[in-house]
Amino acid sequence: MHDSAYTRRLFLQRGCALASIAATVPCFIERSALGMLGDPLLASQPGVPEERILVVIQLGGGNDGLNTVVPFGDDAYHRARPQIGIRAPGAAPKDAQPAALALDGARGIGLHPNLTGLKELYDDGLVQVIQGVGYPNPNRSHFTSMDIWQTGRLDAKGSGWIGRYFDNACGGTPMPEASVAIGRNAPLALEGDVQKPIAFEGPSLFRWNGQDLHASLKDPYDRINRAGAAPAEAPGGAGDTQKSFLMRTALDAQVSSDRIRAAVAKQPLVPYPAHALANQLKTIGAMIRDGMPTRVYYASMGGFDTHGGQLGTHGNLMRQFGESIAAFQRDLKAQGSDGRVTTMVFSEFGRRVKQNASGGTDHGTAAPMFLVGPKVKPGVFGDHPSLTDLDQGDLKYGIDFRSVYASVLEDWLKAPSEKVLRARFANPRLFNLAT
């Protein structure tokens, strides 16, 4: 019932816009509109499930996975981190430090004590903890490793994996407002070979992100001159239609800006904490509630490069993250959208097992990921990496991050992961879509 109301509302809101750009509208929007008018053959497009939304949260700086998903039952953990380790539930207090939040069904594993918001969602069956995620021959550079995660390629080259999803969803025709990043610049993950994302820090700063692209993706599409003329030729043929659509997208940015401002001006249905990440998620929640056609939203939170004095800094970050994602999930449930949304949380790498002399941790390798929402398989997926069988002092990964992407693409977004990732990765089936 809710999905039906959603599609009717979306059609009414987008009808005028569809009419105004009929000559250049992408096929998936055109066919979706026809489907809403009653054509059952066009109502659903393979690879573009209009009702499903992916929200990505990036924890920038290299989140310490061992103090996020805490192996408190492993003595090697406490030996490696005598000052910054999180104590086990029931253990004698150390410097008034609270104990880890034990996870049901996961022996000796718990969450950071400040992740009470995430633990509540876990207890409600809404969180999947994916342990030991990484990739072969890990790179410990923030920039290179982040590009690896965002391109889905070990050489860190080319377009973004989510951008390629949209490139493949409808024959490479650009899709307006398909992806939105809350921030000054859109991440590489959202930049396709054809698809270009939208990025804004706040509704008043909305802009089409067609010129401030990652250096590896500069191409003739981006050079729209001041006279309003598109490049004379687009690569790959079908130039006029694609060029015209890109131009229309740029010119219509103000229309979208007005709509976003109107959506965000509405008060959320639940209170949000006053954190930067919470504000981003509140904006995303407002756009979802308003029926925006966006399929992927991207939020980010920095400060995780904890080389020194980690205990207090990381604890505060964990509190902000947990409270923010809990408020966002409550908002989605209150507006009746929670079944349509899955949130994926990642960081570019974890930290080393042993603490350093400055009471912090240095760049490491494997770390946990989270999937949040009522359609994920709840609980802990995979074994926690060994703390004694190490690779030069670092954890050995157990699951390739591109396998997580494969499940998100195939099972949630209904897209061919091999085409998007440009290689075949085992799908661990992280979703429960039967209910």
Q: 382 vs 40, which has greater pLDDT?
A: 382
Are 305 and 62 within 8 A, CB to CB? yes
| Average pLDDT value over all residues in the chain | 82
Tokens of 57: 């949260």
Domain boundaries, the chain: 1-45, 51-421
pLDDT digits (tens, 9 = 90+) for 112-159: 999 999 999 999 999 999 999 999 999 999 999 999 999 999 999 999
Query: Residue 206: its pLDDT value, please?
Result: 55
Which of 96-110, 171-185, 298-312 is modeled with the greatest confidence?
298-312
The helices-and-strands tally (H runs, E runs) of the chain is 12, 13
pLDDT of residue 255: 54
Give the pLDDT confidence score for residue 31 in this predicted structure: 43
pLDDT at 393 over 50: yes
385/247: higher pLDDT:
385
pLDDT of 103 > 80? The answer is yes
Q: Cite the DSSP H helix spans in 58-198.
A: 75-80, 116-123, 142-151, 161-169
Per-residue confidence at 8, pLDDT binned at 50, 70, 90? very low
Top mean-pLDDT range of 253-257, 278-282, 288-292: 278-282
**pLDDT grade for 249, boundaries at 50, 70 and 90:** low
- Using an 8 Å Cβ cutoff, are 97 and 364 in contact? no
Q: Which residue has the higher pLDDT, 1 or 88?
A: 88
* Closest alpha carbon to 156 in 97, 109, 73, 215: 215
β 110-111/69-70 pair status: antiparallel
pLDDT for residue 171 is more than 80: no
Mean pLDDT across 266-278: 95
Residue-level pLDDT at 176: 67
Domain 51-421 class in CATH: alpha beta
State yes or no: pLDDT of 111 exceeds 50: yes
Kindly provide the residue ranges of all beta strands, DSSP E only, lying in 261-302, ordered along the sequence: 296-301
pLDDT tens for 177-219 read 789 999 888 999 999 998 888 888 776 555 444 444 455 444 4
Q: Provide the b/e sequence for 154-181 (b: ≥16 CB within 10 Å).
A: eebebbbbbbbbbbbbbebbbbbbbbbb
pTM equals 0.82
